[in-house]
Amino acid sequence: MKTFRDFIFEQIGRMRIVMLGGPGSGKSTYSKYLIDHFDITHIYPGGMLRKEVEKNSEIGKQVKAIIDRGEFVPNQIVLDLIKAQIEKSPKGYILDGWPRYMQQVEDMEKNDIGYDYAVFLDVSREEVLRRLLARGRADDTEEIINNRIDLYKKETGPVVEYMRKRPGFITVNSEQGTPEETANEIIKRIEDESK
């Protein structure tokens, strides 16, 4: 029997999703369920950048202090990492944490990096603080989390509003429910929209 994934692949040949949401909204958590379900690539600049820091590579040395402050790393570094991954993802991808500001939306359009669905995860600052302080990554101190949230509101807010007006925009409240329940809701919303 054909699965929904087979159907999508036959119809449009790929599935491309953008995950939008602030720090701790669950972008990476739900991406893991979606990449399994749709059999697509997880393109995650935050994770790639942290790996470069761990390796102490040239890129890692350039970005460590920036990530430690919760600021955005230089645009071209992120764009190069993303483009290399997209070239290796013929079945589609999830962009987890890109674009994050309007310059990156322009880069997206200039480089013909398309998407079929933009999933916006809506969650309160209180819940984000609770989740991230419990997670305890190096950039999960209260001060840095608040910096990341403020930057998100100022710079990523306009990206969300821009994408809201375009086809394929889906808002999901990720405040309540287990990760699995929220991931299943996202999958259902995408599949319903694709019918």
Where do contacts with ligand AP5 occur on this chain (CB under 6 A)?
Answer: 21, 23-29, 45-46, 49, 66-67, 70-73, 78, 97-98, 100, 104, 131-132, 135, 148, 174, 177-179, 182
For residues 119 and 186, the answer to whether their CB atoms sit within 8 Å is yes
3-class state of residue 20 by DSSP: strand
State both tokens at 52: 């470069």
Minimum separation from the CB atom of position 9 to ligand AP5 (A): 26
Minimum separation from the CB atom of position 158 to ligand AP5 (A): 14
Strand locations in 34-164 (E): 41-43, 92-96, 117-122
Question: How, if at all, do strands 169-173 and 117-122 pair?
Answer: parallel
Q: Which residue, 8 or 121, is less far from ligand AP5 as judged by CB? A: 121
Question: How, if at all, do strands 92-96 and 15-20 pair?
Answer: parallel
Q: Which residue, 8 or 22, is less far from ligand AP5 as judged by CB? A: 22
For residues 27 and 121, the answer to whether their CB atoms sit within 8 Å is yes
Q: Which residue, 114 or 179, is less far from ligand AP5 as judged by CB? A: 179
Return d(Cα 122, Cα 116) in angstroms, integer: 19
Minimum separation from the CB atom of position 76 to ligand AP5 (A): 10
Q: Among all residues, whose Cβ is closest to ligand AP5?
A: 46
Minimum separation from the CB atom of position 180 to ligand AP5 (A): 9
Q: Which residue, 132 or 163, is less far from ligand AP5 as judged by CB? A: 132
Task: Give the CB-side neighbour count of residue 176, counting CA atoms within 13 A.
Answer: 0
Minimum separation from the CB atom of position 152 to ligand AP5 (A): 7
Cα–Cα separations (whole angstroms), residue 115 to 42, 112, 170: 14, 10, 12
Q: Which residue, 167 or 177, is less far from ligand AP5 as judged by CB? A: 177
